[in-house]
């Protein structure tokens, strides 16, 4: 297995964490559900520091190195500020109450009324 972490500093972008949440709802989540070899992707943000990113877990290094459509970079206006790739030494799933991870997160929760 292979892991990749990408971060954008949004200071130079017209987009914000909030506007990028719309991108997740409208297209990114569904598109990445179809990527071969991708075991898990979760998008991360730090609104206070104006940062946006993702953590991807791949079945193999080859899958992680395959080209991906990078719509986020197009929207943000530049490639990730930081990118790190790692070999995964071990994985484990702990005890949890909610079995499915798909469809969870701030971008996919209903807006407060």
pLDDT tens for 19-75 read 999 998 888 888 888 899 999 999 999 999 999 999 999 999 999 998 887 889 999
* pLDDT band for position 111 (cuts 50, 70, 90): low
Which residue in 7, 4, 86 sits closest to 45, CA to CA? 7
Say if pTM beats, i.e. exceeds, 0.85.
no
- Identify which of 50, 51, 63, 49 has the alpha carbon closest to the alpha carbon of residue 1: 63
Q: List the one residue out of 79, 71, 69, 67 whose CA is nearest residue 22.
A: 71
- Can you tell me the mean pLDDT for 8-28? 92
pLDDT bracket for residue 113 (50, 70, 90) = very low
Q: How far apart are CA 39 and CA 55, in angstroms?
A: 11
CB 60 within 8 A of CB 37: yes
Report the C-alpha gap between 77 and 59 in whole angstroms: 29
Q: Which of 14, 3, 101, 113 is nearest to 58 (CA)?
A: 3
**Could you tell me the fold of the domain covering 2-108?**
Alpha-Beta Plaits (3.30.70)
Confirm if 44 and 53 have CB atoms less than 8 A apart: yes
CB 17 within 8 A of CB 52: yes
Q: Are residues 71 and 28 in contact, defined by beta-carbon separation less than 8 angstroms?
A: yes
What is the rounded average pLDDT of the residues 98-107?
71
The pLDDT confidence band at residue 107, using thresholds 50, 70 and 90, is confident
């Amino acid at each position: 297995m292979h892991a990749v972490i990408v971060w954008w500093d949004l200071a130079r972008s017209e987009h914000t964490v909030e506007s990028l949440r719309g991108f997740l709802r409208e297209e990114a989540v569904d598109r990445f559900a179809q990527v071969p070899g991708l075991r898990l992707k979760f998008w991360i943000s730090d609104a206070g520091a104006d940062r946006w990113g993702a953590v991807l877990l791949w079945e193999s290094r080859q899958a992680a190195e395959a080209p991906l459509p990078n719509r986020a970079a197009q929207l943000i206006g530049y490639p990730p500020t930081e990118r790190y790739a790692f070999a995964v030494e071990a994985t484990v799933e702990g005890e949890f109450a909610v079995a499915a991870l798909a469809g969870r997160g701030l971008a996919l929760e209903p807006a407060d009324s």
